[in-house]
Amino acid sequence: MLSPPSTNLAAYAVSITNGFLPDEHPLLQLTDDYYLPWESVIGQLPQLLDSNTLRTTVDKLPVLSTSHLQTEPEWRRAYLILSFFTHAYIWEAGGPSDHLPPCISIPMLKVAAHLALPPTATYAALNLWNFAPLDHNVSLSNIDNLRTLNTFTGTADESWFYLVSVAIESHGASLISTMLRAIEACSTSNTSLVLSSLTSFTCTVRELGVILKRMNEGCDPLVFYNKIRPFLAGSKNMAVAGLPNGVFYDEGDGKGEWRMFSGGSNAQSSLIQFFDVVLGVEHASKPGTTSKSGFLKEMRAYMPGPHATFLNSLPTPSPIREFCNASPIAELVEAYNLAVKELAAFRDIHIQIVTRYIIRPARMQQGERGGKGLNLAVASNGLEKGLCGTGGTELLPFLKGSRDETKDAALG
């Protein structure tokens, strides 16, 4: 049996078994009666949005203190609730609101600061802390054994969309220890361990691709595009959608600040960025394009603080890539290249899903409003080149560029 890596993962809130998912499953609700007003609204969020009464309901909420939050799971649950409130309030039907009331802004700013996260809906709120297992004895990588805690639309499609990511995070968790051991093995020239680690990486990422392909089973493209996606949008680069200055976070008594944030994005997955770092995949900017490396590093600010610190602590350039590149053993170079190829293939699957769930519906409904809120297609300057992701980047150029740069990491 392999020994655990020397890195103290717990110090970074990374689980040996669950990876970037919490060891302790997310709370189903805040148990302190003080927070019943929040739980009451989040419990009927889809119905309030469907009846276009979310904002008027939220406006009646008291400004609750965060002083009753004691444990980290409680802080995470509060962040989830306030994240859903934030995006629901902004994107409720009838046009976006560029103003968040104090009952959201004040506690959200404090909760987000505690977790070292921005005060907006992130991948952590929507995915990492938004699930519950149906059977605690079954792996979290089994989507069919999971349910979401909250959604905007109340649809099974939205739940499935989030849970695919949860399953990927769970199944890929083992690679964190595997690749950390591989990094340590490079310093001792333990070729066999590096080789076996790369082989495990390739097999596991291939399995992650199989999970990702299951998106088609439970999430309809038109439901996603018209009903779900509008609520995932951020307030950054959304001038055409009606938020030229972002959103004003009202803190009461004449205080407040205009803020702009990217929306929830898979680029905020620490697991996927971990894969890039350990393999030495570089997403450098190219002439005439937006800096991919800059965007991905910016997305680390949208990860839970300890997770971002963990990624920043990893050695660069990649010891694994350098070790394989310097090795005269052809089998080792081949194993590294196969790992890179599989990661690129995973990104190809993502591109295929984006094409089916966003590009094709955009072609069908360009310039139309769909479902509740303003469809992001309205905030684009065209299709493939202009269509933006919820993270605020041009969608297909970014994804294809990331895929191609992954391929470029292969050793000659």
Residue ranges of the annotated binding site are 350
Between CA 77 and CA 22, with CA 11 as vertex, the angle to 5 degrees is 30
Q: What residues have CB less than 8 Å from 303, skipping those under 6 apart?
A: 117, 122, 123, 124, 268, 270, 311
pLDDT in tens, 44-76: 999 999 999 999 999 999 999 999 999 999 999
pLDDT tier at 153, thresholds 50, 70, 90: very high
> Above 50 in pLDDT, residue 407?
yes
238 contacts 373 by C-beta, under 8 angstroms? no
Rounded to the nearest 10°, the torsion over CA 226, 232, 236, 237 is: -20
Candidates 260, 265, 230, 252; CA nearest to 98 is 260
Predicted pLDDT of residue 251? 98
Q: How far is CA 406 from CA 4, 188, 254, 381, in A?
A: 28, 27, 48, 28
Does an H or E element contain 323, and which? helix 319-326
pLDDT tier at 6, thresholds 50, 70, 90: confident
pLDDT in tens, 208-251: 999 999 999 999 999 999 999 999 999 998 888 899 999 999 99
pLDDT tier at 329, thresholds 50, 70, 90: very high
pLDDT in tens, 86-139: 999 999 998 899 999 999 999 999 999 999 999 999 999 999 999 999 999 999
Predicted pLDDT of residue 265? 87
Higher pLDDT, 167 or 378: 167
What backbone torsions phi and psi does residue 126 show, to the nearest 5 degrees? -80, -30
Pairing of strands 146-148, 131-133: antiparallel
| Average model confidence (pLDDT) across the chain | 91
Domains of the chain plus CATH, in order, are: 14-134+235-259 (1.20.58), 167-219+265-407 (1.20.58.480)
What is the identity of the amino acid at 125? A
Residue ranges of the annotated binding site for heme b are 350
